[in-house]
Structure 1
């Protein structure tokens, strides 16, 4: 059955859940990337340098694990649906408020709070979706959900290109309030997870979270290590690539923007494609193939002589990188202990993201050591991380197709 036929086979309730969770992650990413595009202009208005403004980005990343834990626990106790609505409303309000920040200090505080809200969305939305669809659909839907992140990046680039000259950086943040409308859609069209409803009489106490995590300590450590490698993989191909194009290849801002649009399209297609493959060949095999596919693409990605070839390399690289990511929502939810499906995947993901937050600094430092050779820094770093992702996934565990609701002891298999 084709992907389109598979999607058509979903019930209306299931399709509504997928749409809501995809849009929730897409708009969350859109709100995050707005600041990436307006760093220079924020610094100019507050009379400071760009480095000072980037503190807001660092704190956003640092606070995401806190959000994963808080919103994950609330979702385990009170339900995925109301928690997702509260989560989306929180990040939309904080994004809107950022547009009114009177000082840089206030903006930094608002972005830190935004990080808490952003950290909760992925885990809660993925759990709601994976618990609501048939097991055979997890691979495809996993790829679609993960494609929401590059889709958010793509929307932010288009909005910046089309509207920034008119509305400025404050207007960009105010547009970030639009996700609040998604709450109305969820309230009217999305039902609670059937898995949660089946065990809602068993209220999860906070102390129970730590007990379960201790019982599954090795699995949790493995998941965090895997997500650390994955976040180095994605950030390692995204964070400094525009800088490489501008500084080392001396391309114009417009050309860099077009290349960014091209590689985000590649990322979306890669996530969906390998999500589908993961249902046929397994999560680990799909991840290993996608990660290793990145290796031969490195010369085209950073050593091409023309913008067209660089764009081609960037498209293919993100197809591979986000292809590996395409299996992750399903993979982590299937590995998760039954009682912590809103908490375990999101917390592992965000802790890995926190550890990998040093990526840009590490790559920039490596480039400076070799006379600002960003191409070399990107190439050597991504080659090492791609191999690490393949090794961790290939020699890790998998629970593809597990029936949610089973005893956690039977969840992981080689």
Structure 2
């Protein structure tokens, strides 16, 4: 049966759950990237420099593991659906309040609170979806869910391009309250996870006890997600800086290239997510990660903006292609008792450990006489190989029955 036929075979309830989780991650990412676009304007209004304001970005990322843990534990106890609604309301509220900041300290505190809420969305939304849909659709739906992140980036780019001249940086945050409307959709159209409902009467072990019993899996998964986050951030964070500083391209050209490679990211997640349903999660990740290697030189050394855009499209197609497998892969690997906590916590810990990527690449570029291209290429090649090795020799549980309590991870 084809992918499209599988999707057409979903029930209305399953489609509603997918839509809600995809929009939740899309709008979460949208709210996050709003700050990235207005750092200079905030610094100017608060009479400080961009590096001081950028602390808010780092602290947002640093608080995400705490959010994944807190909201994940809440979802294990109170259900995925209700926890997701609370999470969306909170990140929307903190986004709105950020627009009323009277100084840098207030903004940083609000962004830390936002980071906690942001960290909770991915794990809870992914577990709700993966536990609701048929096993045969996990691959393509996994790619769709992960495509929410570049979708949010793309949406923030469009809002900045069209609305920022009219509404300013505070107005950008006010627009960021819109995701709160998603709660109405979830309340009306989304039901609780069948796996959660089936497990309510089972005896549950505490999170730490489950973690201790799966320590090898936990450590491997955190290292894998650290490599994954270095791969995504290592191909995104300073790429616009490379285009502006080393290639001297205008903001318009940089913005156009960014929009183009985000389309590649979305398509890559969908393609490799669906492919992993046929060939397996590990094999899909390995292929996508290794295909970054032959296209990476075009991404940084092409002679024209069009060729660079093609290179960036291909790199993001393969990078986010590997990422598109992750929601299904981590949920399948997770012990049943902690499925709304384990994947999100691991993801966000990896994100925290890789949060110094931009500083690392900027330092390398400075050491190499401003050669951002070399810094980008070296990091991308190393971590792409690391992702392939870690995934290829790691665990896989493709096809596990979430409601049957199957919890045996299979190493390579």
1:370-403 per-residue CA deviation (whole Å, 9 max, x = no partner) reads 0010000000110000000000000001000111
Q: Tell me, yes or no, if the aligned pair for 2:400 and 2:406 is still in contact at 8 Å.
A: no
Residue 66 of structure 2 corresponds to residue 71 of structure 1: no
Q: Which residue of 1 aligns with 2:194?
A: 194
Q: Which residue of 2 aligns with 1:39?
A: 39
> Any residues of structure 2 matched to 1:289-328 within 5 Å, and which?
289-328=287-326
Please report how far the alpha carbon of residue 204 of structure 1 lies from its aligned counterpart in structure 2 after TM superposition: 4.9
Q: Which residue of 1 aligns with 2:361?
A: 363
CA distance in 2, matches of 1:31, 1:97: 12
Residue 275 of structure 2 corresponds to residue 277 of structure 1: yes
Residue 366 of structure 2 corresponds to residue 378 of structure 1: no
Q: Tell me, yes or no, if the aligned pair for 1:76 and 1:204 is still in contact at 8 Å.
A: no
Q: Which residue of 2 aligns with 1:120?
A: 120
> For the structure 1 residues 44 and 204, does the alpha-carbon distance in structure 2 shift closer, same or farther, using more than 3 Å as the test?
farther
Q: Tell me, yes or no, if the aligned pair for 1:338 and 1:406 is still in contact at 8 Å.
A: no
Please report how far the alpha carbon of residue 164 of structure 1 lies from its aligned counterpart in structure 2 after TM superposition: 0.2
Q: Tell me, yes or no, if the aligned pair for 1:72 and 1:123 is still in contact at 8 Å.
A: yes
Q: How many residues align?
A: 412
CA distance in 1, matches of 2:352, 2:42: 24
Find the partner of 1:260 among 251, 258, 261: 258
Q: Tell me, yes or no, if the aligned pair for 2:301 and 2:373 is still in contact at 8 Å.
A: yes
Residue 357 of structure 2 corresponds to residue 331 of structure 1: no
> For the structure 1 residues 406 and 203, does the alpha-carbon distance in structure 2 shift closer, same or farther, using more than 3 Å as the test?
closer
CA distance in 2, matches of 1:196, 1:406: 12
Residue 398 of structure 2 corresponds to residue 400 of structure 1: yes
CA distance in 1, matches of 2:318, 2:296: 11
Residue 148 of structure 2 corresponds to residue 152 of structure 1: no
Normalising by structure 2, we get a TM-score of 0.99
Normalising by structure 1, we get a TM-score of 0.98
Residue 378 of structure 2 corresponds to residue 390 of structure 1: no
Q: Which residue of 2 aligns with 1:245?
A: 243
Please report how far the alpha carbon of residue 68 of structure 1 lies from its aligned counterpart in structure 2 after TM superposition: 0.3
SS in 2 for 1:357: coil
Please report how far the alpha carbon of residue 298 of structure 1 lies from its aligned counterpart in structure 2 after TM superposition: 1.1
CA distance in 1, matches of 2:126, 2:192: 13
Q: Which residue of 1 aligns with 2:129?
A: 129
SS in 1 for 2:394: coil
CA distance in 2, matches of 1:128, 1:195: 9
Q: Which residue of 2 aligns with 1:169?
A: 169
- Which stretch has the larger CA shift, 147-156 or 401-410? 401-410
CA distance in 2, matches of 1:182, 1:412: 37
Q: Tell me, yes or no, if the aligned pair for 2:269 and 2:321 is still in contact at 8 Å.
A: yes
Q: Tell me, yes or no, if the aligned pair for 2:76 and 2:341 is still in contact at 8 Å.
A: yes
> For the structure 1 residues 81 and 48, does the alpha-carbon distance in structure 2 shift closer, same or farther, using more than 3 Å as the test?
same
1:203-225 per-residue CA deviation (whole Å, 9 max, x = no partner) reads 757xx110000000110111101
Q: Which residue of 2 aligns with 1:231?
A: 229
